[in-house]
Chains A and B, each alone.
Chain A
Amino acid sequence: MAATIVAAKNTARAGCRALVPETFRERASLAAMAFSGILFLSLETWGLEAFYRLASRILPELPGFRLEIFAANLLPAFFAGLAVLMTFGSLTTAVSLLFLSDEIPFLIPLPVRPGTIFRRQLGLSIAYSSSPALFLLAPLAGLLAIHSEHALLALAAFLASLFSVIILCGLAGALLSLGLVRLIPPDRARLVAGTFSALSLGAALVGARQTRPERLFDPVAAVELLQGLASEPPSTSSRNPLQLLALACARALTGDPGSLYPALGALGFALFLFLAAARGFAGVHLAAFRKSREEGTRRITSVREPRAARTLTRELFDAEVRNLARDAGTPAQIGSLLAVLILNVLNMRLLPVSDAAGKDLVFGLQTGLTLFLVSALCLRFTFPSVSTEGRTALLLRTFPVDPLRALAVRLAVHSGVAVFLAATLTLTSGFLLEVPAPALALSSYFVLLGGLTIPAIQLGMGALYPRFDAPNAIAAALGPGGFVAIGISMLLAIPTTALASREVLSLLESLIRRPLPHLTLSLLWGGGAILAAWTSLRLGLQARRTADLSLP
């Protein structure tokens, strides 16, 4: 217990130190992260608050509308989505924390019971995998407390229900990881789990899309939908635990103190199961951990005949493709992209757009969305590609390879992927919407040029602001360089929504009351994109050639 308290104090102190950075780079990194976080939370809070104000003005006017029934009908779907995401998210995190973490070989030789180690890692897995959901839900919980008549009761019931789902599903995911690692070695199990996780996120998004939320924009359909959800109470004899939790939360909104008992009961049950599993499965974890270490020793890769080296450029190209293909995030990203593609197809089929103006508007938005997706993927893969060289950067600096050639080859690989993705999304949307050929050609111009220049911008910024000591690609991207890179990429992506859509451009023209020269602006956009890419690459190249390189 004393050690746990010391560890908690150390972690808290380390957290406080992180808030008081020493170097300019750390300060800039912290400022960028804080700014992004506060901006995101503010926008979310503002959106939810606006939605609440609108709903509280309109909904009471609907005949037969009852808030608690509305909540009781909506919350099960919310809890189900959270349950699926938590289970698969925790599966991925648990494979890393229970089997691949450097802490485990450090802790096992200490006089600490296996149950304590397992409980610690299990708790961390659940905490880490739930943190994105908690970050997203914090404004919702805050608004619930502010606007509810019985703030504490509503908040307590909601949080108890939320944490019971998080603990139970996180635990299920972590226990699944024990089984998965018995079948597949941990490093591969992490990739498989990441793919499952991405596919589950994709399935959740596709499921949400299938409910056709665009009906809310049609007044008649929206009233029907809301009345249906707010007037037919769910069965109180349901055996679905998520339904029971939803009912408890809904009753808490009306101020029923008895509603707290089922929520607290569920939380207590979840905590009990957590402790029991930590005790009961500790031996299983230790055995699986030892087996995974043995397999790491035993595994023999097939011996291939050494082949003659080809040209330097070809070898560099092959090495880049290997690095990208073996990146831990690649299978998960492929799963996510698949989901995006399905969503895209669903959007095109379900959206009620038949007229030329509607198609033009949707296709314009689609162009901007495609470049946003390219920017996000480049921030995950292209920007950190220099930083993730880690200590190898020291060795690479000594190699007789021109950094220009190395950067050019890396750019070719990353922009090839980006262009393929952008072209696939644009052509799919174009054909499904049956847009005219000139519109398709214009959109292709934007996404192809964006697919080439956005990776160049991110690669250049990644070389200019490398973080060779970052523990992983995501940490490398969460610095000032990543912030600047995504900022410039977004500045390129957003205008394409207007430039690829006559309707959006006309709207802008009417807003500023002056004509916008479409062709000139499109050419200017292209020139700006090329200039930004060239400048970024040049700065990055200069840093690769001359910047001091010192790693602890």
Chain B
Amino acid sequence: MSGFAIEFVSASKSYGQTEALRQLSLSIPPGEIFALVGPNGAGKTTAIGLLTGLLAPTSGSVRIAGHDLASEAEKAKSVLGFVPDRPFLWPRWTPVETLRYVGAVFRLSGQDLSSRIEREISSFDLEHVRNRRNETLSHGTRQRVALAQAFLHDPLVYLLDEPMVGLDPIAQRHLVRRLREKTAEGATVLLTTHQLLLAEEVGERAGVLVGGRLLACGSPDQLAADESTRGRLSEVFFSLAGVPDERDGRAFPDF
């Protein structure tokens, strides 16, 4: 056991001639929120795919809470809470039925499961839709159900792929609060996002992935102080992505 919640050890992934992820080495300790940013096609989804077992690394290894995804997949996944970029919900089930199923998969049952379901229903404001079919829910509500099922079993590691998509500002703020509570209890969060401000404000550390390589990694202060990066996350991002700064590293140009 290395003590890290998430570890990429020289993990590479190739699709034929295309190298989607090159020798990624990254360790995230328990209790940290780590934001992974990068332009489209940088390898973020591939990194998430390796952590969830949807993809197998071409070389290197990936570990969650010390469990190798290749040899101890079930143990690794049992401490994982995952929200994909496009959440899947069984269309004809209700949110409560969905949560009951996910709870059973994580070996929860009885009163414990029922109280957790009520907790998440209340937390993500799903009370008024709890018995409606998933297929009738709006995009934002579906996202809240997907978040509720990721939080249901109090995982040690949260993997959130673009979690804010479809959420209103109230739900976004609530999600950040829940994530901070969880990390205070020792859980770890890896989130991918295109919202640089979110990554900067929420992430204790951030990594910039470009062309399958992790070109920068550190806390906002570290990134600002580093000779090679020197600047706010948005400045670092545009610089590493090869896009000239519009003005003082702001994300959007001044009109």
Residue numbers of A with Cβ under 8 A of B are 2-3, 5-7, 10-11, 13-14, 17-18, 102-103, 105-106, 108-114, 287, 290, 293-295, 297-298, 469, 471, 552
Contact = CB atoms under 8 A, between A and B. Distances in A.
Contacts of A17: 92, 133
A7 B77 CA distance: 20
B107 A110 contact: no
Contact of B54 (A14, A109, A469): A109
A110 B88 contact: no
B88 A105 contact: yes
A105 B54 contact: yes
Contact of A552 (B15, B74, B103, B138): B138
A14 B93 contact: yes
A2 B54 contact: no
B52 interface: yes
A14 B136 CA distance: 13
A8 to B, nearest CB: 10
B80 A109 contact: yes
Nearest to B105: A3
A14 B159 CA distance: 30
Contacts of B75: 111
Contacts of A297: 15, 18, 20, 46
A2 B103 CA distance: 10
B172 interface: no
A376 B116 CA distance: 50
B200 interface: no
A5 B103 CA distance: 12
A238 B20 CA distance: 57
Nearest to A287: B56
Contacts of B98: 10
Nearest to B137: A552
13 contacts: A3-B101, A6-B104, A10-B100, A109-B77, A110-B102, A111-B78, A112-B74, A290-B56, A293-B55, A294-B15, A295-B15, A471-B91, A552-B136
Interface residues of B, number: 42
B151 interface: no
Contact of A109 (B52, B101, B135): B52
B52 A552 contact: no
A106 B88 contact: yes
B84 interface: yes
Q: Which 4 A-B pairs have the closest CB atoms?
A: A109-B52, A298-B15, A14-B92, A3-B104
Nearest to A15: B92
Query: Which of A5, A11, A14, A111: most chain B Cβ within 10 A?
Result: A111
B151 to A, nearest CB: 14
B106 interface: yes
A109 B82 contact: yes
A508 to B, nearest CB: 48
A81 B136 CA distance: 41
Contact of A290 (B54, B103, B107): B54
Query: Which of B52, B98, B159: most chain A Cβ within 10 A?
Result: B52
Contacts of A18: 92
Contact of B105 (A13, A112, A290): A112
Contact of B55 (A3, A5, A290, A298): A290
B98 to A, nearest CB: 8
B245 to A, nearest CB: 31
B16 interface: yes
B104 A13 contact: no
